[in-house]
Structures are given as structure tokens and as C-alpha cells.
Amino acid sequence: MPRQPVPRRQDQSRLLGGGDAGCRATKIAPSAQTHLDKHRDVAVAANQIDFAALDAEIAGDNAQSARFEHARRVGLEGRTPRHGGSGVPPVGVRRGGDTRIPGLTARHRMADMNTISIPVALYVVATPIGNLGDIGPRALDALRAADVIACEDTRHTRHLLDHFGIRAPAFALHEHNEREAAEKVITLLAAGKRVALVSDAGTPGISDPGAKAVAAVRAAGFDVVPLPGPSAAITALSAAGLADERFLFVGFLPAKVGARGTAIDELAATTAALVFYEAPHRIEETVADLAARLQPSRTLVIARELSKRFEQIAVMPLGDGPAWLAAEENRRRGEFVLIVAGPPPRPDSEVDAEAERVLQLLLAELPTKQAAKLAAAITGRAKNALYARALEIKGG
Ligand code: SAM
């Protein structure tokens, strides 16, 4: 398991210049490193934040300054936080000064900082969905600048953090504790700590925990800063090559057969492409349900193991999906995004996509005749055609 701090790059040394405190700090002194590691392990084992780690002597403080200088250059600093509720000033980083002051702790230093500022905020950081090389420099800098990292699964995220030599303590924020964990995040922000939020993979809040914490943090008056990056849905869409201009992100369909059928039926009239997430143990039944309940001539994209070794993107008519999956065991393995393209235009109908959309909206609220009449008035399409289509929709 890599424990070495990541050496700064040559170009950073050059940019920082000889007078900058960060320019010589490519290595954390061994004694302080041992101390930090010891506390880090305790924090991970207990699945809690270890504030003691922040009190470690900071012989590595210059390395931290260099890190923040890098963050400044890639654009994490310089935002003006609102801090409506807390009155806590942004945390800054001292640029000049000593290499090691015995007894001076990270906590003291933070109180003393006054120049570059990476504001106290919740940094929502997207992480790779399979290939660690997909993390961006701003996301890495946010993780490096974080005092504490809230993650779905601390052990899982520790692999990522170890890979990049990031040593911030981590605590769990998952679907079963999100409310309490959000309170913890707010307490940390109020104490002047920068907090990063990550999920196991991809973008937090997208079929992952995060939304409740983000809402609570914002309601408490703190900034929420998104660090964009990988998401399986967008990755799959980017390589799907579909003509649809609109898509609807559905995420996971219900696991229970009845509820799943109902959910698919409700989506049948949507003219946008539909984007689903699915787990390997349900992929066959979900594709079979989609093929049975949506038009089988619609295009299906099966995007499997994106950005990983066995990545596969297969495009076929939806009706062929079940047979394609059944043909080879490997096709049912891994992580899946399914995309069902929008329905083909109805050649025999005068009701185009826009009129259909308006009609659908009105039908949800009004009787059939009235909905058709209003839809005709709004779209300028023939009332009779809209009424016929409304009867079709109502009749299933
Ligand atoms: N937050 C994540 C995102 O932004 O994409 C999604 C998390 S959700 C719990 C996990 C699901 O995303 C998987 O079951 C799968 O459907 C999809 N997924 C994640 N990584 C994937 C990959 N590398 N290839 C295909 N699908 C993936």
C-alpha cells in the first residue's frame, strides 16, 4: 500500500520560485509521516474522523503549502464564500515561513493563516468509474486540500486516496446515515474545516448518496462546490451515437417485478432516450421487461464495464437484447448502463414529438377531449389527430 507523499512535480518547483516556502517541500519528514499514518489508521479502523491527526506536528506543512499553491493555480481558490450561518472566515494557507516549528500544530497554523484562501466549503468530488486515470487535477486538488473526506465506504475510497497519497481522515456518509452524517459535515464546516464528499464511484448524488447532505449544508449557509468528473450515464451517452436530442435519466428501475413493469409502462410515452443503471444479477430480467413493454424496434445500447478492461458497448434493436445477453456469459457480467433510444417518429400520425409532449402533460390533468382541444390550440396541430392520439394513450 503506497504511503509515500506524492513528490511535487518539477514544474511546480519552478513556478513557485526559490523564495516560496513550498519550493523545497517535496517530502514530509519521516517522524511526522509516521505520526500521521498512525492516526490515519486509527481513523479508518474506527470509521470516524480523527481530529488528533490534525494536531500532528506539521513538518510537512511546507508540502501542504505547495499543494495549496497548486490548487490556487488550478482554480480552487479565490471564490468568495457566503457563510451565511456560521460567520466562519475562509481557511487560508500561510505561504512564507519556517520549515518546521516544534509544537506548532496544524490546528494552530490554520487559525494563523492569512494569504491564499481555499474557502471552507463542501467540495462534491466526482471520482473514476473504473479507471483511476480519469480523475482530474481539480478533483485531486480538492481531495488534497480537504481536512476531512466524507465517503460512501471508507475502505473503498481509501484505495483511491492511497493511490494518490492523500492522507486526510475519512468518515462514512451513506444512504443509511446520510442525515446524521450531514450534521457532522456541518459541524466540521462550522469549525473551519474543508470537507470533500465522494461516493464509491462516479458523481455523488447520481444514484448515490449526497443530495441530502448537499441540501443540508446549503441550508446551513455554507458553500457547496462541485468538482465535475466521471458519471456512468454521461459516459455511456457520449459513446451511444443516438440521434435523440433529449434524454431522461431514470437510474435504477424498481427491483420488484410488478413495480418495475409499472415504471416501464409509465415511461413508454416519453419521447426522449431513456437511461438506466442496472446490476448484473438483474440485467437479464430488466432487458426482457424493457423489450416486452416498449417498442422492440427502439434502439438499445448496452454499455458494460465503461473505462475498464472489458469495456463493451453494443447497439441493437431492443427486441434483440435478451438473446444478445443470453448468447455469452461474459455479456452478463460487470456494471451496466442501458440506453433505450426514443421511439421512431410515427409516420402515420400528424402528432409530432412536441404535440405529443404537450398532449401528455395535459392528459395527466384534464379529460381527454379537453386535453386534445387545448393541445391543438397550443401546438397548432389538427384537433382530430390529437383527439385520436389521446384516445390511444388513454386506452394503453
Ligand atoms: N454515481 C455513479 C455515477 O455517477 O455514475 C453511479 C452510482 S450507481 C450506485 C452504480 C451504477 O452505475 C452501476 O450499477 C452501473 O449501473 C453504473 N455504473 C457505474 N460504473 C459503471 C461502469 N464502469 N460501466 C457501466 N456502468 C457503470
Question: Are 254 and 113 in a shared domain?
Answer: no
- Residues 263-287 have pLDDT tens digits of 999 999 899 999 999 999 999 999 9
pLDDT in tens, 297-343: 999 999 999 999 999 999 999 999 999 999 999 999 999 999 999 99
Q: What is the CATH number of the domain that holds 257?
A: 3.30.950.10
**233 Cβ inside 6 Å of ligand 1:** yes
CATH number at residue 205: 3.40.1010.10
HEC-encoded secondary structure of the chain = CCCCCCCCCHHHHHHHCCCCHHHHCCCCCHHHHHHHHHHHHHHHHHCCCCHHHHCCECCCHHHHHHHHHHHHHHCCCCCCCCCCCCCCCCCEECCCCCCCCCCCEHHHHHHHCCCEECCCCEEEECECCCCHHHCCHHHHHHHHHCCEEEECCHHHHHHHHHHCCCCCCEEECCCCCHHHHHHHHHHHHHCCCCEEEECCCECCCCCCCCHHHHHHHHHCCCCEEEECCCCHHHHHHHHHCCCCCCEEEEEECCCCHHHHHHHHHHHCCCCCEEEEEECHHHHHHHHHHHHHHCCCCCEEEEEECCCCCCCEEEEEEHHHHHHHHHCCHHHHCCCEEEEECCCCCCCCCCCCHHHHHHHHHHHCCCCHHHHHHHHHHHHCCCHHHHHHHHHHHHHC
Same domain? For 80 and 177 the reply is yes
Please indicate, yes or no, whether residues 274 and 137 belong to a single structural domain of this protein.
no
Task: Quote the number of domains for the chain.
Answer: 3
Tell me: do 220 and 308 sit in the same domain.
Answer: no
Ligand 1 pocket, 306 CB below 6 A? yes
Those residues whose C-beta lies under 8 Å from the C-beta of residue 140, and which sit 6 or more positions away, are 164, 166
Q: Is the CB of 336 under 6 A from ligand 1?
A: yes
Phi and psi, residue 26, nearest 5°: -100, -10
| Whether residues 138 and 106 fall in one domain | yes
Instruction: Say yes or no: 125 and 55 in one domain.
Output: yes
Nearest alpha carbon to residue 123 among 214, 6, 232: 214
Residue segments in the chain with a per-residue pLDDT below the cut of 70: 1-117, 346-350, 396
199 Cα nearest atom in ligand 1: 1
- Is 3 within the bounds of a domain? no
pLDDT for res 67: 52
Does 378 fall in a domain? Answer: yes
Task: For residues 194 and 216, state if they share a domain.
Answer: yes
pLDDT of 379 reads 87
Residues 312, 375, single domain; the answer is: no
Q: According to the model, what pLDDT value does residue 346 have?
A: 65
Q: Domain boundary at 170, 202, 229, which? A: 229
Domain boundary among 189, 214, 229: 229
Ligand 1 in contact with 129 (CB < 6 A)? yes
In ligand 1, the atom with minimum distance to the C-alpha of 126 is: 4
User: Which atom of ligand 1 approaches the CA of 304 most closely?
Assistant: 25
Q: Please tell me the distance from the alpha carbon of residue 277 to that of residue 116, in angstroms, as a whole number.
A: 42
In angstroms, what is the span from residue 356 Cα to ligand 1's centroid?
32
Q: Could you list the residue range(s) of the whole structural domain that residue 34 is in?
A: 10-229
Q: Are 283 and 314 in contact (CB under 8 A)?
A: no
Residues 61 and 31 in one domain: yes
What pLDDT, on a 0 to 100 scale, did the predictor assign at position 351? 73
Instruction: Tell which of 203, 229, 255 closes a domain.
Output: 229
279 pocket-lining for ligand 1 (C-beta < 6 Å): yes
Ligand 1 pocket residue status of 307, Cβ below 6 Å:
yes
CA of 88 to the centre of ligand 1 (A): 36
Task: Give the Å distance between the CA of 154 and the centre of ligand 1.
Answer: 18
**CB distance 351 to ligand 1 below 6 Å:** no
Residue 1 lies in a domain: no
User: pTM for the whole thing?
Assistant: 0.68
Cβ of 239 closer than 6 Å to ligand 1, yes or no, is no
What was the pLDDT predicted at 81? 46
